[in-house]
């Protein structure tokens, strides 16, 4: 099944939703214009479609495996990764000072989506490297930056995140791995880490493990966890690689999906590690990495949805079955003519585009926040991370499932490929923090902590868009009415949760996932409503009419069919806590 | 992962929801009482838990495969099937005249759910045999009945349904297989049939294929299709088996789930077949079989949901992770204490019990309808088939997905077992007619054809329950309020669809799946509301208090968290057609 990168839609979002004028006027992006970005994304899209996407189904079939302690990736992965490195794609959004291209995050996000849509298993490797770069930039010493960043940014070395242990998944307070100080200032790391994505492979010269562990006498709980960098091969003073470190892969998981991506169990047996930043602040640093990774996993949700949509659309245009219900043909027609197949495909498309639009707006806030001295952008960016992660991954699972459904019986046959997306998607609402963990973050840290201020700021921004919609076409007005209703549900929910958050935490947190899904639905729909305004204006000018007409149609579908779900979520939160807590299991 | 048959809940439904007084007063069930049924289901539950359920995970891992034209089932399947036959379970609900036990359908349905929860791949074989028995009872000649029924009812022979061809899936008008009359009154069947469940295996002495094909000169479309019985081994005059017929398995599909169940491609190469009933009426007869099979697939949805729920519940009671949000413990607690895990589990449980309750009520109407001269029961039973099939299978997929989520990262590891349910469940909204096909049946044949009369009859029955709820406890009154709102949404939908069904079929059928999901949600919730009334009365009498209290809690949760979804579905139908039809793909 071929894949085409959705570059047109990604560019529309960068131009119109991400706050591009503000981003392109930042000093470090001086002189960058949209045509440059278009050229970059077109080229990357072509590379991914031609070199990476064809490895997706064979990679799933072959799967990564371990033989005599050596992890074997599917055929073609190492070669494709070498091309990826050669072309410099790993450095797209990373600082020029470390060899990157220094492009804005909105561009990096677009590229991440494309790569993941082409091949999620492959994309996981660069994705984890991005996270390691982010953590080292934040908390690494100058010496550490100079040792590790250039090879990571180039892609010659890859990165991993080592948080989870058998007894410590969502709950990092339970981390037990130990770090004993050695005389030379380094540490000896001992413990078992599980679920380590690309924890062992030989596509790259070296792997840089970032590892959470406890120093002797550290406090229990999350306040006693430190972060260490543990290279697979020791790095010598001249930058060349020395002996292998005492960390080894003892097994590779047999998973439901993303089978080509090796998920390793790593044994640290007195491995040499180096403290990053201050002792006991590991979780703070890891959160920097995790925020980047969580946002990226949200992009994976959009990516798998896009891939599933493209595949289902192609099948629906090709498969001939049954006469149309309106009697317009006496013979069987392609199934895209059947109303329920339309409904499925439009829902897939609307959820995908809305998620993408929300992610683009978020990347814009992240870019501004990253420059510092932009407290509003920073608060919005922080608020959005659990939403992009939670909403877009839940949506990705749903869209992949609908993709199977469009295929009918063929969808259940593995060779068709739709089933792989359904399997691959299922990890997304789980790793880098389950949807419930995201929802707790959204409710606890991002909503209750500021008394709902950021949430209400977003509601006010949405109301501004409603005012613009009210002045536009009848279609825009209808979308505005739906948006206002959904915003009302959101505000009622925020009020309710803020009023009970401290006094009745079980009731409040029992509504946390409905709150996340409500907020995600609303904010994604808001971005589509903004898109509709842009598209109506463009249509008036006769620009890119097919694309703009489709964008308007998608925004309308979303407003009528998806935004109203917010009211059910509100009911669950404002009126459903009693029956939730009284439930018998 | 161990499995316990939910016998208590199944018996509750038979006693209180299925119209048991009417069923047990039918002449053929004279003298049958609930203690007999309880004994049967307890014994069957034990057998399934001990002998069938343990084969589920190994069967998935091994999968059925073909070697040199021979289909090899996973180890243990043949032995377990022999026990199943030996104990006479295949005949549970089939006529005593053919060697069955003649128990009511409400009991057969309960047993089917148990068997499928234990092992869906295994259960598919008896399920298809049930369908073949049903078709032969309806349309077979006396001679055919005497040849085939006793071995099928005993389980010594198994049955298959051969409808699908590569170009003919949902659209049976496109069936091309040919049936040439021979001089001896038999036919020579030629063609390729795909997706044939248990189309080839050697657990049974013989396989009875029921095959759709066209006789020479038959009309095009569905009016030219006839039904044939094609035995794998010819049956001789004395009932013993003769030579092998000219039908062979050319491949077995590589599927997402139900991997132990062999899904065969069968080549008919001039195989000897015998016409069932009248020529060109094949589809009518097949619909009898399909109705039974569709209802049974709905039971599979409930079954996989039950299995996924049991597994997730056990994990949530065992896994320790994170402190509670209410600060009630300073250490980490089992995850069942976290509000969102409760929410997931309660939703899983509520959907499962509601689907089961709806299926029990439906089986009661089927039983009465089957006796003839019960036009209201017949109309209700027909209305319910697409709902049980469509709603319970969509629900099964959702519940299985939530089951993975409860497990966190472990859910994505195949050895845990939660992923198998997620994979197995995915076929259910597809085979025996996709959800869209069910929805078209519900809207076209079951709603528009009688001008909405049956739908409104159901609404009136629901209103009667609301009146009872209004006279009961405050909890019951609250459930009644939710039920009334959902019924209002249903009635508005029925009115709308009936008014545009003929004039604007694309708009009407674009709302067909939302209508199915709305109606299924409502009717399942209605049955839980009836259960609540029964349980409150039982609690007042001090009967079975733990079970009854849980039933009340589940009904309340369903009313607050699930019934309100009907309003969103209504909006999609009554206000969403324009944006659906204007959508650009």
The answer to whether the Cβ–Cβ distance between A322 and B170 falls below 8 Å is yes
- Cα separations (Å) of A86 from A79, A82, A83, A562? 10, 6, 5, 43
Name the residue among A171, A346, A579 with its Cβ closest to that of B580.
A346
CA distance A84 to A71: 20
Domain presence at residue A484: yes
CA-based nearest residue to B514, from B451, B565, B584? B565
Segment B44-75, tens digit of pLDDT: 999 999 999 999 999 999 999 999 889 999 99
Chain A residue with minimum CA distance to B422: A423
Both tokens of A303, joined, read 């990516």
For residue B238, the tally of other CB atoms under 10 A from its CB is 6
pLDDT at position A346: 98
Residues of B with a catalytic annotation lie at 432
Q: What is the largest CA-CA distance in chain A?
A: 85
Segment A123-178, tens digit of pLDDT: 999 999 999 999 999 999 999 999 999 999 999 999 999 999 999 998 999 999 99
Cβ-proximal residues to B192 (8 Å cutoff; 6+ apart), any chain: B165, B166, B177, B265, B266, B267, B268
Domain presence at residue B233: yes
Which residues in chain B have their CB less than 8 angstroms from residue A412's CB? 255-257, 426-427, 430-431
B437 phi, psi to nearest 5 deg: -65, -40
Cβ-proximal residues to A480 (8 Å cutoff; 6+ apart), any chain: A465, A466, A469, A470, A529
ipTM above 0.90, yes or no: yes
Strands (E), A232-262: 233-235, 241-244, 247-252
The answer to whether the Cβ–Cβ distance between A580 and B557 falls below 8 Å is yes
Chain B residue with minimum CA distance to A479: B579
The answer to whether the Cβ–Cβ distance between A430 and B404 falls below 8 Å is yes
Strands (E), A42-124: 65-67, 70-72
Q: Are residues A143 and A164 in the same domain?
A: no
The answer to whether the Cβ–Cβ distance between B430 and A404 falls below 8 Å is yes
The answer to whether the Cβ–Cβ distance between A576 and B567 falls below 8 Å is no
Segment A407-436, tens digit of pLDDT: 999 999 999 999 999 999 999 999 999 999
Q: What is the CATH number of the domain that holds B104?
A: 1.10.540.10
pLDDT at position A178: 98
Domain presence at residue B322: no
Location of structure tokens 């032995």: B79
- Cα separations (Å) of B546 from B28, B464, B536, B543? 35, 27, 12, 9
pLDDT at position A371: 84
How does DSSP classify residue A181?
Answer: E
Name the residue among A340, A506, A585 with its Cβ closest to that of B345.
A585
Which residues in chain B have their CB less than 8 angstroms from residue A513's CB? 340, 343
Beta-carbon-side half-sphere exposure of residue A229 (alpha carbons within 13 Å) = 32
Is A1 a residue whose pLDDT tops 80? no
Q: Are residues A118 and A211 in the same domain?
A: no
- Cα separations (Å) of A390 from A428, A513, A516, B341? 9, 9, 7, 16
For residue A502, the tally of other CB atoms under 10 A from its CB is 9
Shortest CA gap A15–chain B (Å): 22
For residue B87, the tally of other CB atoms under 10 A from its CB is 14
Strands B206-213 and B157-162: parallel
Q: Are residues A76 and A123 in the same domain?
A: yes
- Given B281, B301, B333, the domain boundary residue is B281
The answer to whether the Cβ–Cβ distance between B560 and A575 falls below 8 Å is yes
Which residues in chain B have their CB less than 8 angstroms from residue A427's CB? 412
Name the residue among A338, A430, A567 with its Cβ closest to that of B567.
A567
CA distance B220 to B232: 28
Q: How far is CA B50 from the centre of its chain?
A: 23
How many residues does the structure list for chain A? 585
CB A55 within 8 A of CB A61: no
Q: Are residues A29 and A132 in the same domain?
A: yes
Task: Collect the ranges in chain B with pLDDT lower than 70.
Answer: 1
CA distance A510 to A444: 12
Chain A residue with minimum CA distance to B512: A340
Which residues in chain B have their CB less than 8 angstroms from residue A343's CB? 510, 513, 580
Domain presence at residue B336: no
Location of structure tokens 């369908």: B131
Shortest CA gap A32–chain B (Å): 33
Q: A290 falls in which pLDDT band (50, 70, 90)?
A: confident
Q: What is the CATH number of the domain that holds B211?
A: 2.40.110.20
CA-based nearest residue to A113, from A278, A362, A295? A295
Q: How would you classify residue A221: left for phi > 0, otherwise alpha for psi between -120 and 50, otherwise beta?
A: left
Angle in degrees, CA A70, A72, A78, rounded to 5:
120
Beta-carbon-side half-sphere exposure of residue A115 (alpha carbons within 13 Å) = 22
Provide the 3-class DSSP secondary structure of residue B583: coil
pLDDT at position A333: 97
Helix axes A375-406, A282-318, angle to 10 degrees: 40
Name the residue among B408, B431, B585 with its Cβ closest to that of A342.
B585
CA distance A399 to A306: 9
- Given B130, B152, B174, the domain boundary residue is B152
pLDDT at position B425: 98
For the question of whether the overall pTM of this predicted structure is more than 0.95, the answer is yes
Q: Are residues B11 and B138 in the same domain?
A: yes
- Cα separations (Å) of A67 from A71, A249, A254, B214? 6, 11, 14, 55
The answer to whether the Cβ–Cβ distance between B429 and A559 falls below 8 Å is no
- Cα separations (Å) of A101 from A14, A38, A87, A159, A364? 18, 15, 11, 19, 18
The answer to whether the Cβ–Cβ distance between A554 and B326 falls below 8 Å is no
Name the residue among B414, B505, B561 with its Cβ closest to that of A256.
B414
Domain presence at residue A134: yes
Enumerate the β-bridge partners of residue A212.
Answer: A227
CA-based nearest residue to A22, from A526, A110, A14? A14
Shortest CA gap B136–chain A (Å): 26
The answer to whether the Cβ–Cβ distance between A579 and B561 falls below 8 Å is yes
Shortest CA gap A415–chain B (Å): 8
Q: Are residues A461 and A531 in the same domain?
A: yes
Q: Are residues A465 and A574 in the same domain?
A: yes
Higher pLDDT, A16 or A239: A16
Segment A170-223, tens digit of pLDDT: 899 999 999 999 999 999 999 999 999 999 999 999 999 999 999 999 999 999
CA distance A408 to B170: 8
Whether A432 is catalytic: yes
B371 burial type by CB count under 10 A (0-12 exposed, 13-18 middle, 19+ buried): middle
Q: Are residues A81 and A145 in the same domain?
A: yes
Alpha helices in B194-270 (DSSP H): none
Which residues in chain B have their CB less than 8 angstroms from residue A419's CB? 256, 426
Enumerate the β-bridge partners of residue B70.
Answer: B67
The answer to whether the Cβ–Cβ distance between A256 and B572 falls below 8 Å is no
Helix then strand then coil, in percent of chain A rounded to 5, is 60, 15, 25
Domain presence at residue B359: no
Mean per-residue pLDDT, A289-295: 90
B58 phi, psi to nearest 5 deg: -60, -35
Domain presence at residue B442: no
A318 burial type by CB count under 10 A (0-12 exposed, 13-18 middle, 19+ buried): exposed
Q: Are residues A533 and A583 in the same domain?
A: yes
- Given A280, A306, A340, the domain boundary residue is A280
Domain presence at residue B535: yes
CA distance A552 to A191: 54
Q: A287 falls in which pLDDT band (50, 70, 90)?
A: confident
Q: Which domain holds residue A215?
A: 158-280
Q: Are residues A133 and A196 in the same domain?
A: no
Location of structure tokens 């064979």: A58
Segment A63-101, tens digit of pLDDT: 999 998 899 999 999 999 999 999 999 999 999 999 999
Q: Are residues A475 and A497 in the same domain?
A: yes
Name the residue among A412, A559, A585 with its Cβ closest to that of B256.
A412
Helices (H) and strands (E) in chain B, counts: 21, 11
Q: Are residues A103 and A176 in the same domain?
A: no
Provide the 3-class DSSP secondary structure of residue B548: helix
Average pLDDT, chain A: 97
Chain B residue with minimum CA distance to A401: B426
Provide the 3-class DSSP secondary structure of residue A210: strand
The answer to whether the Cβ–Cβ distance between B585 and A167 falls below 8 Å is no
CA distance B220 to A330: 12
Angle in degrees, CA A321, A323, A325, rounded to 5:
125
How many domains does chain A contain in total?
Answer: 3
Cβ-proximal residues to A86 (8 Å cutoff; 6+ apart), any chain: none
Shortest CA gap B350–chain A (Å): 10
Location of structure tokens 């599980």: A194
Strands (E), B126-171: 157-162
């Amino acid at each position: 099944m071929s894949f085409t990168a959705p570059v047109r839609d990604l560019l529309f979002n960068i131009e119109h939703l991400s706050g591009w004028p503000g981003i392109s006027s930042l000093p470090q992006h001086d002189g960058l214009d949209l045509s440059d970005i278009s050229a970059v994304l077109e080229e990357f899209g072509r590379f991914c479609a031609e070199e990476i996407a064809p490895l997706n189904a064979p990679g799933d079939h072959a799967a990564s495996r371990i033989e005599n302690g050596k992890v074997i990736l599917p055929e073609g992965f190492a070669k494709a990764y070498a091309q990826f490195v050669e072309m410099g794609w790993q450095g797209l959004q990373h600082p020029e000072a470390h060899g990157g291209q220094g492009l804005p995050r909105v561009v990096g996000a677009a590229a991440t989506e494309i790569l993941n849509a082409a091949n999620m298993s492959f994309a996981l490797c660069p994705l984890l490297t991005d996270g390691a770069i982010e953590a080292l930039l934040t908390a690494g010493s100058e010496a550490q930056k100079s040792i590790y960043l250039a090879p990571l940014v180039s892609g010659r070395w890859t990165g991993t995140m080592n948080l989870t242990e058998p007894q410590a998944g969502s709950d990092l307070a339970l981390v037990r791995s130990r770090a004993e100080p050695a005389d030379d200032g380094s540490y000896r790391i001992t413990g078992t880490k599980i679920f380590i994505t690309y924890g062992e492979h030989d596509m790259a010269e070296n792997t840089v493990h970032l590892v959470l562990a406890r120093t002797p006498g550290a406090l229990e709980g999350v306040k006693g966890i430190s972060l260490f960098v543990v290279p697979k091969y020791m790095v010598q003073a001249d930058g060349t690689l020395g002996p292998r470190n005492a960390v080894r892969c003892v097994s590779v998981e047999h998973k439901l999906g993303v089978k080509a991506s090796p998920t390793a169990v790593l044994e640290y047996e007195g491995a040499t590690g180096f403290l990053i930043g201050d002792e006991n602040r590991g979780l703070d640093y890891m959160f920097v990495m995790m925020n980047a990774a969580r946002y990226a996993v949200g992009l994976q949700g959009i990516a798998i949805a896009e891939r599933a949509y493209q595949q289902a659309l192609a099948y629906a245009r090709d498969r001939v079955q049954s006469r149309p219900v309106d009697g317009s043909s006496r013979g069987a027609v392609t199934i895209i003519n059947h109303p329920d197949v339309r409904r499925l495909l439009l829902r897939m498309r609307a959820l995908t585009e809305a998620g993408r639009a929300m992610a683009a707006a978020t990347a814009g806030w992240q870019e501004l926040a990253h420059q510092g001295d932009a407290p509003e952008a920073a608060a919005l960016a922080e608020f959005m991370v659990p939403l992009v992660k939670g909403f877009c991954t839940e949506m990705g699972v749903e869209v992949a499932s609908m993709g199977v459904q469009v295929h009918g019986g063929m969808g259940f046959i593995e060779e068709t490929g739709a089933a792989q997306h359904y399997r691959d998607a299922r990890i997304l609402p789980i790793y880098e923090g389950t949807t419930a963990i995201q929802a707790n973050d959204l409710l606890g840290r991002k909503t209750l902590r500021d008394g709902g201020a950021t949430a209400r700021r977003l509601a006010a921004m949405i109301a501004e868009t409603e005012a613009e919609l009210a002045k536009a076409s009848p279609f825009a007005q209808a979308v505005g009415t739906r948006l206002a209703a959904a915003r009302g549900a959101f505000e009622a929910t925020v009020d309710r949760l803020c009023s009970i958050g401290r006094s009745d935490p079980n009731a409040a947190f029992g509504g946390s996932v409905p709150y996340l899904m409500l907020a995600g639905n609303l904010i994604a729909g808001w971005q589509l409503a903004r898109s509709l305004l842009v598209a109506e204006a463009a249509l008036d000018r006769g620009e890119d009419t097919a694309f703009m007409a489709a964008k308007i149609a998608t925004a309308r579908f979303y407003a009528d069919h998806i935004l109203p779900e917010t009211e059910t979520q509100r009911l669950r939160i404002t009126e459903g806590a009693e029956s939730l807590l009284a439930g018998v299991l």
